[in-house]
Amino acid sequence: QVQLEESGGGLVQAGGSLRLSCAASGRSFSDYRMGWFRQTPGNEREFIAHISRNGGNTDYADSVKGRFTISRDNAENTMYLQMNSLKPEDTGVYYCAAGLPSLYRTSGEYLYWGQGTQVTVSS
């Protein structure tokens, strides 16, 4: 069992930056691959970024590539999402997820989820 808690969301102007954190507790954090997903009203959760267990491999949705950076600190049981050059279309609830997904872009492949943190980007 792993408990996840996101923080760092808020309201920011377009072009600004935010850094999201995902703190984990419970079973060994480093056992799990991690992901960030975003959800907007009426839509399913969409893949944003994935990071491997040791942080050596990452992948991003095309919409955020070059602007967002995923990272993790296994010693601190924490994952991060640095979001730069934010756009209004980045608005949504951001969730962190943990698991051993075969298809890491698929939300249903993850075992554990946080409660989400709201990010709002104004134009």
What is the rounded CA–CA span in Å between residue 39 and residue 66? Answer: 20
Bridge partners, 41 (sequence order): none
Question: Residue 57 burial (CB < 10 Å; 0-12/13-18/19+)?
Answer: exposed
Cβ(81)–Cβ(48) below 8 Å = yes
Instruction: Supply the mean pLDDT for the chain.
Output: 96
Please compute the mean of the pLDDT values over residues 47-67 and round it to a whole number: 97
Please compute the mean of the pLDDT values over residues 51-57 and round it to a whole number: 96
Helix (H) or strand (E) holding 81: strand 78-83
Cβ(88)–Cβ(101) below 8 Å = no
Backbone angles phi, psi at 77, to 5 degrees: 55, 45
Please compute the mean of the pLDDT values over residues 33-44 and round it to a whole number: 97
